Structure 1
Amino acid sequence: MIQTYLVVSAIICAIIAEGWRSTRKKVNGMPLPPGPRLLPFVGNILDIDAAHPWLTYAKWGKQYGDIVYARLFGQHFIIINSEKVARAVVDKRSAIYSDRPVIATNEYFGLSFNTGLQPYGDTFRMHRKLYHQSMRIEVTNSYQDLYLRKAHELIVNLLDDSNKVEGHLNTLASSLIMAVTYGYETKPKDDPFVDTIQKIIHIISEVISPERAALQMFFPFLHRLPSFVPGGKYKKMAPECRRLAATIQEEPFEYVKKQMAEGEARPSMAVAATAYIAGSETTSATLHMFLLAVLLYPEVQTRARADINAVCGPDRVPTFQDRKSLPYIEAICRETLRWQPVAPLGLPHATSCDDVYDGFFIPKGTMVMLNAWAMGHDKELYPDPSRFDPGRHLTADGQLKDEPTYSHFGFGFGRRICPGRFFAASSLWAAVVSVLSTVEITNAKGEDGKDINVEPKFTSGVGIRPEYFPCSMRSISSAREEQMRMMWKS
């Protein structure tokens, strides 16, 4: 009886001690950054909007400053809501802030091959070296004809069937990546590789989030629960995700081997599956944001079209030789990245050792969230941030005033910056200039003949994009349309 009492007492004391520890705002006697009040055990998990955590973090930033401390269960969290602080911390101290948290579900779902999820080490550095060889700026500039050809294919698809916008964007983005990584030409519609990647992206957006990662790290047994038990629903997705992950790694590779055996293989890169997943979804979603933005702000289309016609004349198709002469198009690309970043929080970084910043202690193993959404909606830098206004990126005389598009904070920071950012920025420009030169996007009409108003709504998850919105598309240049129909097939 006494032994039972002692055991129970020890457990109660341990629970009280853990509850007290989990509400402390100091570690090793040093203050942690300011943040919301911590509850015992759960920390701040109940305070977060699970569907849109970046909005919660942005709200905290207004209350507590550009660097905020939170705790989800036992996991330290730092949220950085300012580009200035992100540059100072993650860029300038990249040796400390380049790791990734270890999450059991990555292996369980067959995703551990992904470069973006790799811990910082030899494997990650090897992957980055391979990316640099194939996606550095000098190499990606050689793909300009490819960017335009695929953009022209997009125009043809949009004009032929404007009811399947998301599918056309997915085809464009996936076909670009597949062409560069595997030398594979996707089908204009219903390509099996494109369908596979969309399925795995859907699962990834459900499974991978920093908040869910904290839960898995605190309760690592959760992914072993039967699927019918509360908390075990994601187990249903694991076998399918593993199968799809194997498919996107093996089948394109087998295609390359076959092409090589037949002497027909084109240049391709080894670390391709990651590029396929990350590049196809972010490119597609960003272009989806662009189409929504110009539908909501038709004056952007009007000005862009006038600029293009002034440089190219009424009939010539824009090319990369026109890029420097079209600063407003570049500004549209940058505003698209700012307005609604498709990866509002990116993937979490993790500290590899203790650090001190601005007098605050940041423990080893802290999960670091970089809130791109908050950075783009800083009212001091971007007045009226909810408005889509490309002009904010131009000087009074109409020249670009920001850093190059590939340096945009939406591509990340430090050693974890997107290795495909040069490729992404150029392919985005090609699609944007092709659409604005040839297609007018307007509100769809209802049965009563009146415009159907569109209220912007977005999906949730690690990556977001617009929910379905009706629109109408028509060609505004038969000459350009005809040229594009001929050029994308050549």
Structure 2
Amino acid sequence: MADKQKRIMNDMLDMLKNKFVKHYEDFDESSQRDFCDALISAKNDALRDGKESAPYLTDDNLSMTIFDLFFAGTDTSQQTFQWLLLFLCYYPEMQQKLRQEIESQIGDRMPTHEDRNRCHYVMAFIAETMRYRNVVPLSPLHKTVVQTKIGDHTVPKGTAVTLYHHNILNNPKYWENPHQLIPERFLESDGQYMTSRNKAFIPFGVGRRVCLGEKLAIADLFLVLVSFLQSTQQYDIVLAKHSGIDPDPNIADSINPKHYEIKLVQKL
């Protein structure tokens, strides 16, 4: 099984590298068509300016960046949206607040990234969902490059190290009532989305190795959530009863919510 997984992984990486390298054939510095072109442009800039990062911007590494973006980001964004949708159903008062803000700030037009600066409750709802039900409870493994100390503990050089996000995101030491979904914890007293958040808000990790897709993920979640609520503005989104399953999001034992179904109920 391990050999098969390794072979599949290598095949995917080869496919991505071939697609990336093919972009060199018709690359135009003045017209960036996609993420591959953006990476090539960044590589050229680094080489031209003699930046410290230039030796690391190889085709192999840049191909891996594409792999990280599309493969690592797909499942996590999908799982986070499953939680968002479940919370919409489970907390109708939050659903109503979200709809009211979207109606007053955006209306029926297509949302843009700039709308995040106006939809403070929407952003707080997304942030609190990622805190309360983080879909990546552990950071990727890293390795210490020198012997170091953490508190009273000595960590030898070459030790594999990971960060347990869940213990920080749901720790009463850092959060009041951490086992409750409270979007307002991310709002200032005037209702503005906090620009300076709790340092314990680490759904994307910490330090120089923080998830490179953080901004993209939040932007996508915002656009998809707002578009979904706009397209269902004539309905209430509610849980459908089925199979006796209780999808209570407050009783979670995995990074995914239990299987659930939703239905749209016409507003009176």
TM-score relative to the length of structure 2: 0.73
Select the residue among 224, 237, 241 that pairs with 1:441. 237
Q: 1:319 and 2:83 equivalent? A: no
Aligned counterpart in structure 1 of residue 77 of structure 2, from 270, 283, 293: 283
Shift of 1:243: 3.4
Structure 1 residue 351, shift from structure 2 partner: 2.1
Which amino acid counterpart does residue 80 of structure 2 have in structure 1? T
Cα separation, partners in 2 of 1:357 and 1:453, compared to 1, 3 Å: closer
The residue number in structure 1 matching 2:33 is 266
Q: Is the 8 A contact 2:239 2:260 kept in 1?
A: no
Cα contact 1:443–1:452 (8 A) shared by 2: no
Higher RCO (CA < 8 A, seq sep 6+): 1
Q: Tell me which amino acid in the other structure corresponds to 2:7.
A: R
Structure (1 or 2) with the greater helix fraction: 1
Q: Which residue of 1 aligns with 2:258?
A: 467
User: Could you tell me how far 1:253 is from its partner in structure 2?
Assistant: 4.3
Asked whether 1:301 is paired with 2:65, we answer no
Query: What do the CA deviations read for 1:256-276 (whole angstroms, capped 9, x no partner)?
Result: 666776899933143212322
Report if the CA contact (8 A) 1:318-1:437 is conserved: no
How far off is 1:292 after superposition? Answer: 2.0
Post-superposition shift, 1:289? Answer: 1.9
Label 1:366 to 1:254 Cα distance change in 2 as closer, same or farther (>3 A).
closer
Residue in 2 that maps onto 1:374: 167
Measured at CA, do residues 474 and 244 of structure 1 come closer, stay the same or move farther in structure 2, by a change above 3 Å?
farther
Partner of 1:352 in structure 2?
Answer: 145
Q: Distance in 1 between matches of 2:201 and 2:172?
A: 17
* SS at structure 1 position matched to 2:162: strand
Matched, 1:392 2:188: no
- Whether the 8 Å CA contact 1:355–1:362 is kept in 2: the answer is yes
Residues 64-79 of structure 1: pairs in structure 2 closer than 5 A: none
Q: Are 2:221 and 1:431 equivalent residues in the alignment?
A: no
What is the rounded CA distance, in whole Å, between the counterparts of 1:259 and 1:356 in structure 2? Answer: 45
- Aligned with 1:363 (options 152, 156, 163): 156
The CA distance in 1 between the partners of 2:112 and 2:22, in whole Å, is 34
The whole-number CA distance in structure 2 between the counterparts of 1:433 and 1:371 is 31
**How many Å separate the matches in 1 of 2:23 and 2:153?**
56
**Aligned 8 A contact 2:240 2:260 in 1:** no
Tell me the distance in 2 between the aligned counterparts of 1:257 and 1:358. 46
2:7 to 218, 243, 248: 243
Conserved 8 A contact 1:286-1:337: yes
CA contact (8 A) 1:285 1:342 kept: yes
What CA distance in whole angstroms lies between the structure 2 residues aligned with 1:300 and 1:259? 45
**How far apart, CA to CA, are the structure 1 residues paired with 2:24 and 2:218?**
30
Larger deviation: 288-297 or 321-330?
Answer: 288-297
- 1:411 is aligned to 204
**Cα distance, 1:285–1:433 mapped onto 2, change above 3 Å:** same
Distance 1:404 1:320 in 2: 20
**SS in structure 2 of the partner of residue 410 of structure 1:** coil
Per-residue CA shift, 1:143-171, capped at 9, x if unaligned?
A: xxxxxxxxxxxxxxxxxxxxxxxxxxxxx
Residue identity (%): 29
- Which structure 2 segments of 5+ residues have no match? 40-61
Residue 430 of structure 1 and its aligned partner are, at CA, apart by: 1.3
Alpha-carbon shift at residue 339 of structure 1 (Å) = 0.8
Instruction: Please tell me whether the aligned partners of residues 452 and 470 of structure 1 are also in contact (alpha carbons under 8 angstroms).
Output: no
Cα displacement string for residues 264-319 of structure 1 (whole angstroms, at most 9, x for unaligned residues): 99331432123222111222222122122222222211101011111123x33332
Specify the structure having the higher radius of gyration (Cα): 1
Aligned residues: 232
Question: Cα offset for 1:242?
Answer: 2.5
**Cα gap change, 1:356 to 1:413, in 2 (>3 Å):** same
* Alpha-carbon RMSD: 3.2
Instruction: Give the whole-Å Cα distance in 2 for the aligned partners of 1:254 and 1:401.
Output: 43
Distance (whole Å) between structure 1 residues aligned to residue 17 and residue 212 of structure 2: 21
**Alpha carbons 1:393, 1:400 under 8 Å: kept:** yes
Deviations 1:300-352 (A, max 9, x none): 11101011111123x33332232211111110121121011111012233322
The 5 A counterparts of 1:23-34 are: none
* Equivalent-residue separation in structure 2 for 1:317 and 1:475 (angstroms): 23
Residue type of the alignment partner of 2:12: I
CA deviation after TM superposition for structure 1 residue 252, in Å: 4.2
User: Residues 381 and 321 (structure 1 numbering): CA distance in 2 closer, same or farther, change over 3 Å?
Assistant: same
